[in-house]
Amino acid sequence: SSSVMNISEHLSCPLGFGHYNAVDICILETVVIVLLTFLIIAGNLTVIFVFHCAPLLHHYTTSYFIQTMAYADLFVGVSCLVPTLSLLHYSTGVHESLTCQVFGYIISVLKSVSMACLACISVDRYLAITKPLSYNQLVTPCRLRICISLIWIYSCLIFLPSFFGWGKPGYHGDIFEWCATSWLTNAYFTGFIVCLLYAPAAFVICFTYFHIFKICRQHTKEISDRRARFPNQEGEAAGESGHSPDRRYAMVLFRITSVFYVLWLPYIIYFLLESSRVLENPALSFLTTWLAISNSFCNCVIYSLSNSVFRLGLRRLSETFCSSC
């Protein structure tokens, strides 16, 4: 109990509403963060192992981006060990400012990589459906590797000004006291991040998926019309089966993208409101931050539930693991 009291005395508790229940609030925060950290690390390690053990998943070029997201989300889980340890063991605070800045920067960069990968995935599926004949010439493994490298470089550069005193990179729900009291958000820096990251990614995703599903509806309508005219022809069924995998895979990726923005939208809204000094609520800050970070685990769940090839690879991996045990 003395260690718990030490936590409540020295650490910033975003959900705290008074000294009376500060200990209970800090315990709740610790449980939430430790649980999310474990789920994120375990889930993304599973995705990475399945991708390495299931060659059929490499049939899609988007597997490059899915694996990149898995590695980024895994590093998010590893980074979450920092606030976990800070809640369990109080630091002297000598390097608290540097730790806070580095942690906020790393989390922001990793989530930027995930957001950019989702935008690139939508562009990849758009090209696969709109330009099926020239797709293999447009999207090559070399170009994919260059694109992923540019994503990491761009994500690292866009949040770099935060180290030079220009605002906060976007991390809220502060566990470190210095982050909560001394490192404030800046409306101009927030606008800079929104204009160069959030808004372009959202626009690209909305544009591509709108046209993807529009084309899929047109294909379905054309196939239905042809079946009505020529019910005995089997060639149309073959044509339909050619479009079905792309449509189903696009739906899987659309679900991942939708859940990403559903979980991140409250965080982005709070980020904008706090930067404009319209709203400052420690409880909302904590909840929106860790709700957004929980997306790093949700990607694993959605992909495992929606993709049959991934489920097959997961089953084979489980069988191999169980037989070795």
Cα–Cα distances (Å) from 300 to 37, 40, 152, 231, in that order, read 14, 9, 21, 41
Tokens of 112: 């930027």
Whether 47 and 309 have beta carbons less than 8 Å apart is answered as no
**pLDDT computed for residue 128 by the predictor:** 84
**pLDDT computed for residue 54 by the predictor:** 66
DSSP 8-class letter at 60: S
**pLDDT computed for residue 154 by the predictor:** 94
**pLDDT computed for residue 174 by the predictor:** 62
Name every residue whose Cβ is closer than 8 Å to that of residue 46 and which is 6 or more positions away in sequence. Answer: 300, 304, 314, 317
Instruction: Give the whole-angstrom CA distance, residue 12 versus residue 180.
Output: 7
Count CA atoms closer than 13 A to 325's CA, side-chain side.
6
**pLDDT computed for residue 314 by the predictor:** 76
**pLDDT computed for residue 231 by the predictor:** 66
**pLDDT computed for residue 156 by the predictor:** 92
**pLDDT computed for residue 86 by the predictor:** 66
**pLDDT computed for residue 11 by the predictor:** 44
Q: Which of 257, 282, 283, 284 is nearest to 270 (CA)?
A: 284
DSSP 8-class letter at 57: G
Superfamily per CATH, domain 19-226+244-324:
Rhodopsin 7-helix transmembrane proteins (1.20.1070.10)
Going residue by residue through the chain (325 aa), what tens digit of pLDDT does each one get? 444 444 444 444 544 444 446 666 677 777 888 888 888 898 888 888 887 776 655 666 777 888 888 899 899 888 887 776 766 665 545 577 777 888 888 888 998 998 898 889 889 888 888 888 888 888 888 899 999 999 999 999 999 888 887 888 876 656 667 777 778 788 888 888 889 988 898 899 889 888 888 887 787 777 677 777 766 654 444 444 444 556 666 777 777 788 888 888 888 888 888 888 888 777 788 888 888 888 888 877 776 666 666 777 777 777 777 777 6
**pLDDT computed for residue 155 by the predictor:** 93
